[in-house]
Amino acid sequence: MASALDPPPTGPTVGPFPIAGLVRKARRIAGLGQRQMARFAKVAPSTVGRVETGAMTPSLAVLERLFGAAGLYLAVVDQDGRVIQPMADWDDTRDGAGRRYPSHLDTILDPEPGDWWADIYGLARPPETFHRCPTDREARRRRSQWEVRVAQYRNVPPPKDMRERY
């Protein structure tokens, strides 16, 4: 059990988000009073007070404005504390029905022969596609990650399951 003397966790946490404490800390970092922060964030002064006491859970938009008033930004981090960047949004890359491709798939622009799953059927190749086979997708991702590491560290052997293929 944690005591009052234990230091607070420094890395990412899982569980209730300490919004009230973060807003108070943001205000302290910026040296702002509640009214000043409210004016910069374009919210009512009572909103800042209610958020800081935990009486109100702000929307994401209000939370962004409160942090923005203090010159801070919200970020998403993984378990190792690395900042996660958002995916690029390509408005001109859609399927034949105008839908976005699934975000969990790697979209291939201008596929080469053999890149499209339906090449074996002799169908006309689309301007963009993705790999359907999950094991093939994972092998390609591992290959890509390995190539990045080789470029950085040199002489790193490929992953075991890729040595036969590449």
Give the pLDDT score at 136.
Answer: 73
The 10s digit of each residue's pLDDT in 74-117 is: 888 888 888 888 777 666 677 777 777 766 666 777 777 777 77
Residue 137 has pLDDT above 80, yes or no: no
The 10s digit of each residue's pLDDT in 41-57 is: 999 999 999 999 989 99
| The pair of three-digit structure tokens given for residue 61, joined into one six-digit string | 């938009």
The CA distance from 145 to 161, in Å, is: 14
The average pLDDT across 6-35 equals 78
Residue 31 has pLDDT above 80, yes or no: yes
Average pLDDT, the chain: 78
Helix (H, G, I), strand (E, B) or coil at 140: helix
- Tokens 């059990």 label which residue? 1
Nearest-5° angle of CA 95, CA 96, CA 99?
45
Give the pLDDT score at 59.
Answer: 92
The CA distance from 116 to 124, in Å, is: 10
Q: Within a 10 A sphere around the Cβ of 23, how many other Cβ atoms?
A: 25
The CA distance from 131 to 133, in Å, is: 6
Give the pLDDT score at 10.
Answer: 56
Residue with more model confidence, 80 or 160: 80
pTM, to two decimals: 0.54
Confidence of residue 1 (pLDDT cuts 50, 70, 90): very low
The CA distance from 60 to 69, in Å, is: 14
| The pair of three-digit structure tokens given for residue 162, joined into one six-digit string | 């890729």
